[in-house]
Amino acid sequence: MRYAETGYNLEIDLTRGNIERVETDPKLAELHLGGLATTAKILWDRVPPETEPFSPNNPLIFSTGLLCGTPATGANRTIVATVSPQTLLMGYSMMGGFFAPELKYAGYDKIIFRGKSPDLVYIYISNDKVEIRDASHLKGKGAVETVDIIQQELNDPKVQVAAIGLAGENRVYMASIEHGRSSASRLGIGAVMGDKGIKAVAVRGTKDINVARPAEFYKLCNDVLKYIQFRDDHPVPGVMPILQGLGSPQEMKHVDEAWHTQNFMWGNSRVRKRDYWTPEVEEKWRGTQESVRKRLISCYNCPMKCGAVISVPGLSTYMMKCFSKLTYTMAAFADLDFGFRIAQRATEYGVDGFSTPQVMAFAVELYENGILTDADLEGCPADNEGRFYWLLDRIVRREGIGDVLANGTYWAAQHIGKGAEEFAHNNIKKHEQLPLKLGMLNPVYYLMYCTGEKANITQIEGQFPQSPFPTMAEREEFVKDWIQVPDEKFKQYLLGWELRGERSNPYYPTIDMSVDIVDWQEKMHYIDDAVGMCAGLSSFPLKPPYHIHNYPAIISAATGLEMNEDKLTEIYNRNRNLIRAFNVRRGLRRADEKPPEDHWKNRFPELEEKLLDAYYKFKGWDNDGIPTKETLQRLDLGYVAEDLEQRGIIK
């Protein structure tokens, strides 16, 4: 019997209409755990570097994590991976909700799509019954609407659906895959789904997921739940409200947006409004939020309420989580009411709430600077809010200028020319970043921004505070019950970190400390992504319930694998290097590992080079960010080394 995992993948060839249930190698869980890591293994094995994102040979993989479907609180993430049309590297995005557990209960760890369907289809999986169904009646339907229609036509409200909207159908590079209160939004994976002709995947499962050592596993899960309750009762003092608790930043719960509205940038990541948050604004926003928010909601088997049912009068109901509440508002210099309204349309279209508002703000800037002309924006309203709706409609339909903008700011700027490149100023690896511009370089964040394989800071940052506590008393208080640190030295790093003076950014944390801290943050994310754990209960917030000290026992009791901290660290390194190798094989090099030039006002080129040198060295990579042969061999990735050697990438 296989524990925690089902031991089967579903392989669907859309070109031929072939469906197979394929047993997986149990050894893979030992080497990689599962989730993102075993997905990366499939991509490495099957996708040579010349494969284009919209090639039938580019697979699209929906993966559960190793612990999804077990009683481990928060293990509900679905990892969707493919080659990204935007970065041309591995594109992976993760969503919460209910899809992954349901897929496990249906008896599968992954669905691997290849080929392309000539007509729009949806996939219906009900345990052993798998069908490719006609979806011509769903063409052009909203992503939220589609879920409703499918549940009704299958006459089963318990069926879990992941769907694309118009943006995915039209291969918009910011297209998301929507699934109720969750979405896999980043890096254009919805575009690949649309390219394959898949409108939706609907899953229903009624089978068991087994665990190896039930009593022990249950106790560990119960301890996690108790710690969540403890943390609910003990918010971290001295940090802003959204960082005090667990879960994703509690944007749906909190109305107080002083921090985001005054520290994040408005427009095309340009303008900081330091005095924006007044009592009048707060009162107005509170009214807006409380009137449209019908309920705070969760993902499968998780008590955190990071999402909400949103019902704006006159518009159909949708669900929202986290920061998309503000991205449209701030990009359009509008207010919260606008944000909730346009997000409804954007969710039905199925677009990424990070990139899309920036693309639209970028277009507005280009117009204001004479790079885009009246001819490009013919018919566009003159007011800013009107412009955003107009641009959104053009982008998802790829009409006129929308066809250019639909490829994201990097590619659009290349296409438009005339200096448009200067305005695509907030990208890493061709991908739009958080609208954040800061003063002093933070060495830890510098490394995370540069080297994150997902090109998204929230998927690498984590539980080491973002800035020092002003007083020693606060620091001592913070480290007192900081059980999550992998090593006591991290407490010393934090205790020594000052706001000003010698031991402050950018030279403190020192280069070595910075590398250590980044390695810890990354490690937790990579473990989460392999087991399907939500970062909101593990790698992302301060003092989370899952950490390097309890993970080995949890994974071991669930799977029966022997596990300890060293072993888990080795698996993390193996997985980290495998994904890096995939991207290196596609051309990723040191030259690509750059944060946006204006991310910090105060830059330190010499220090930055040293940071990157030290990080690469620590990872066992050469000076160009390529894993060395020795590193790969040490991690049982000899076959990867051999391939890179044959291609002349490893010399």
Near other proteins by CB under 8 A: residue from 214, 287, 386, 470: 214
Ramachandran category for residue 609: left, alpha or beta (phi over 0 → left; psi -120 to 50 → alpha) = alpha
Query: Rounded distance, CA 397 to CA 350, Å?
Result: 12
Q: Which phi and psi angles does 421 have, rounded to 5°?
A: -55, -35
List helix spans (H) across 457-604. Answer: 472-480, 489-495, 511-531, 551-559, 565-585
Toward other proteins, which CB reaches closer, 98 or 124?
98
State yes or no: residue 302 binds other proteins (CB under 8 A).
yes
Footprint on residues 12-41 left by other proteins (CB under 8 A): none
State yes or no: residue 317 binds other proteins (CB under 8 A).
yes
Near other proteins by CB under 8 A: residue from 53, 65, 71, 115: 71
State yes or no: residue 314 binds other proteins (CB under 8 A).
no
How many alpha carbons lie under 13 Å from residue 647 in its C-beta half-sphere?
17
Amino acid 150 reads I
User: Are 240 and 227 within 8 A, CB to CB?
Assistant: no
Cβ neighbourhood burial of 436 (10 Å; 0-12, 13-18, 19+): middle
State yes or no: residue 246 binds other proteins (CB under 8 A).
no
Secondary structure letter of residue 470 according to DSSP: S
Q: How far is CA 451 from the centre of its chain?
A: 15
Toward other proteins, which CB reaches closer, 208 or 476?
208
Query: Rounded distance, CA 347 to CA 350, Å?
Result: 5
User: Are 315 and 309 within 8 A, CB to CB?
Assistant: no
State yes or no: residue 240 binds other proteins (CB under 8 A).
no
State yes or no: residue 124 binds other proteins (CB under 8 A).
no
Stretch that binds other proteins, among 202-210, 391-399, 569-577, 578-586 (CB under 8 A): 202-210
Query: Rounded distance, CA 526 to CA 529, Å?
Result: 5
Toward other proteins, which CB reaches closer, 316 or 550?
316
Residues touching other proteins, count (CB under 8 A): 43
Query: Rounded distance, CA 337 to CA 352, Å?
Result: 19
**Rounded (5°) CA angle 96-90-74:** 20
State yes or no: residue 85 binds other proteins (CB under 8 A).
no
Near other proteins by CB under 8 A: residue from 207, 270, 272, 603: 207
**DSSP labels, 35-52:** HHHHHHHHHHHH--TT--
Toward other proteins, which CB reaches closer, 197 or 247?
247
State yes or no: residue 125 binds other proteins (CB under 8 A).
no
In the complex, the smallest distance separating the C-beta of residue 357 from other proteins, rounded to whole angstroms, is: 24
Toward other proteins, which CB reaches closer, 207 or 491?
207
How many alpha carbons lie under 13 Å from residue 548 in its C-beta half-sphere?
23
Near other proteins by CB under 8 A: residue from 19, 88, 236, 297: 297
State yes or no: residue 301 binds other proteins (CB under 8 A).
yes
In the complex, the smallest distance separating the C-beta of residue 536 from other proteins, rounded to whole angstroms, is: 13
In the complex, the smallest distance separating the C-beta of residue 105 from other proteins, rounded to whole angstroms, is: 6
Footprint on residues 487-546 left by other proteins (CB under 8 A): none
State yes or no: residue 161 binds other proteins (CB under 8 A).
no
Footprint on residues 216-235 left by other proteins (CB under 8 A): 217-218, 225, 228-229, 232
B/e letters for 505-538, b = 16+ CB within 10 Å, e = fewer, are: bbebbebebbbbbbbbbbbbbbbbbbbbbbbbbb
In the complex, the smallest distance separating the C-beta of residue 206 from other proteins, rounded to whole angstroms, is: 4
Query: Rounded distance, CA 199 to CA 177, Å?
Result: 10
In the complex, the smallest distance separating the C-beta of residue 318 from other proteins, rounded to whole angstroms, is: 8
In the complex, the smallest distance separating the C-beta of residue 200 from other proteins, rounded to whole angstroms, is: 16
Toward other proteins, which CB reaches closer, 112 or 203?
203
Stretch that binds other proteins, among 236-244, 303-311, 610-618, 637-645 (CB under 8 A): 303-311
Number of CB atoms found within 10 A of residue 379's CB: 8
State yes or no: residue 200 binds other proteins (CB under 8 A).
no
User: Are 532 and 487 within 8 A, CB to CB?
Assistant: no
- The two three-digit tokens of residue 261, written as one number: 């509205």
In the complex, the smallest distance separating the C-beta of residue 300 from other proteins, rounded to whole angstroms, is: 6
Stretch that binds other proteins, among 134-142, 301-309, 376-384, 424-432 (CB under 8 A): 301-309
Secondary structure letter of residue 24 according to DSSP: P
Query: Rounded distance, CA 468 to CA 363, Å?
Result: 37
Toward other proteins, which CB reaches closer, 75 or 89?
75
State yes or no: residue 144 binds other proteins (CB under 8 A).
yes
Stretch that binds other proteins, among 11-19, 159-167, 208-216, 514-522 (CB under 8 A): 208-216
User: Are 196 and 117 within 8 A, CB to CB?
Assistant: yes
User: Are 384 and 332 within 8 A, CB to CB?
Assistant: yes
**Rounded (5°) CA angle 411-142-146:** 130
Near other proteins by CB under 8 A: residue from 309, 312, 440, 607: 309
Stretch that binds other proteins, among 117-125, 166-174, 296-304, 427-435 (CB under 8 A): 296-304
Binding site for other proteins (CB under 8 A): 69-71, 73, 98, 105, 144, 148, 157, 180-181, 205-211, 214-215, 217-218, 225, 228-229, 232, 294-303, 305, 309, 311, 316-319
